[in-house]
Structure 1
Amino acid sequence: MLTNTHRFIVVDRTSRDKVEEELELQKSEAFLDSKNLARQDASLGASMLVTGHIVKIPVYRIFNGDGSIRGYKASVAFQLKVVDVSTGISNEAQGFQGKASKEMLSPESAVTAAMQSIKDDIYEYFRINFPLTAKIVKVLDKKTLVINAGKETGVKVGDKFMVQIIELLDGKPNPSDIGTITVKKQSGASFSANKGVNQQVT
């Protein structure tokens, strides 16, 4: 779900032990002539830590008229918290409540369906709380700008960006809004051409 927001590079720590086992194995003689060895000590450090706490996952059995089990329904509720690794500061825990799933053949599939029901809510949470930032890399004319964000970061035609000028005051950044731009055309995977919709944007 996080990767679909195009806001993050997700580092999976749950598989770290298996990765380290593979790296150790590649040091053995069996891999001496291999051209596909993984680079050692090249782990990517995480800047934010996402933690979740499942509040409840009730699973309901649906019965036939004769008392036999016909299927299962489930719902899910959990809380999510994001911690800034560099400061240790965390945001307020955000709760998500899924809708009851449609009737499924197994408890596991019912829980999976219930989790899918909150996918859009999670996407919207990260979109609002972790907005995409980009730089203006080229000015084509008075009201047309190119930014370094495109398809690969989830930018679509019609998306709007707030343009800010940032000045340092007492060594700290002080952003000021100067206008908005709207994405009119995507230029490859990494860039977008934008039109200013506010006369202050130049």
Structure 2
Amino acid sequence: IVVDRTSRDKVEEELELQKSEAFLDSKNLVQQDAALGASMLVTGHIVKIPVYRVLNGDGTVRGYKASVAFQLKVVEVSTGISNEAQSFQGKTSKEMLSPESAVTAAMQSIKDDIYEYFRISFSLTAKIVKVLDKKTLVINAGKETGVKVGDKFMVQIIELLDGKPYPSDIGTITVKKQSGASFSECDATSKIISAINSAQQGAVIQCSLIIKK
């Protein structure tokens, strides 16, 4: 879930507006004081954005090309610890009519690299929300999080050792059916079902998407 902080001022203005008398009888008011807190912050800085002029034979400007390079870090809010900076280098854009459009085109060339970085570095996790039968589990991940039929998740029991999470693998489940946008039914072995049912009260059971590289 991505929380957009750049629009925070506009969101706060709308929340304040909805407290006014004009909205007393409105049936679609949003819940106040329900903003999501961020567990991680994405930060970074631009290394370079060179813009090149493309000239006609007579020396007049025909168009522009650009490239872009930047570094990205992800900081864990609770500890302040950040991962190692990841560098991205865009391809030189096609010739465009303005410097701005050339920079935008250069940024677009990095889109797949950024997606792949987050897909591998921050794999999707889900919770088991229901045991349907001896061979089927329901997890709270579906179409809206990019889960597809055939995807596999590793089921883990998470213990806290020295204040840090220690995962123990108990088996693999496979998505066999998507139930709406938010849930998926998964095939599971009797061993996994038994381990879940016998887990100590308060134990954290997590399903981590197995990444296909």
- What's the TM-score bracket when you normalise by the shorter of the two chains? 0.7 to 0.9
Query: CA 1:13–1:199 in 2, change beyond 3 Å: closer, same or farther?
Result: same
Percent identical pairs in the alignment equals 83
* Aligned twin of 1:189: 181
Kindly indicate whether the alpha-carbon contact (under 8 Å) linking 1:48 and 1:83 is maintained by their aligned counterparts in 2.
yes
Distance 2:162 2:48 in 1: 48
* Aligned twin of 2:87: 95
Q: CA deviation at 1:95?
A: 0.9
Partner of 1:112, secondary structure, is helix
* Aligned twin of 2:139: 147
* Aligned twin of 2:110: 118
Distance 1:188 1:126 in 2: 25
Partner of 2:92, secondary structure, is coil
Kindly indicate whether the alpha-carbon contact (under 8 Å) linking 1:49 and 1:85 is maintained by their aligned counterparts in 2.
yes
Unaligned runs of 5+ in 1: 1-7
Unaligned runs of 5+ in 2: 194-213
Matched ranges for 1:74-85 at <5 A = 74-85=66-77
Task: Tell me whether 1:138 sits opposite 2:136 in the alignment.
Answer: no
Q: CA deviation at 1:200?
A: 6.0
Distance 2:134 2:14 in 1: 53
Count of matched residue pairs: 191
Distance 2:13 2:156 in 1: 47
Residue number among 45, 53, 63 corresponding to 1:53 in the alignment? 45
- CA deviation string 1:70-125 (max 9, x = no partner): 21111111111111111111111111111111111111111111111111111111
Partner of 2:45, secondary structure, is strand
* TM-score of the superposed pair, with normalisation by structure 2: 0.75
* TM-score of the superposed pair, with normalisation by structure 1: 0.79
Greater shift, 75-84 or 152-161, is seen at: 152-161
Query: CA 1:33–1:168 in 2, change beyond 3 Å: closer, same or farther?
Result: closer
Kindly indicate whether the alpha-carbon contact (under 8 Å) linking 2:41 and 2:75 is maintained by their aligned counterparts in 1.
yes
For the aligned residue pairs, the C-alpha RMSD in angstroms reads: 2.8
Distance 1:52 1:169 in 2: 32
Distance 1:32 1:66 in 2: 63
Kindly indicate whether the alpha-carbon contact (under 8 Å) linking 1:140 and 1:146 is maintained by their aligned counterparts in 2.
no
Q: CA deviation at 1:133?
A: 0.9
Distance 2:178 2:80 in 1: 37
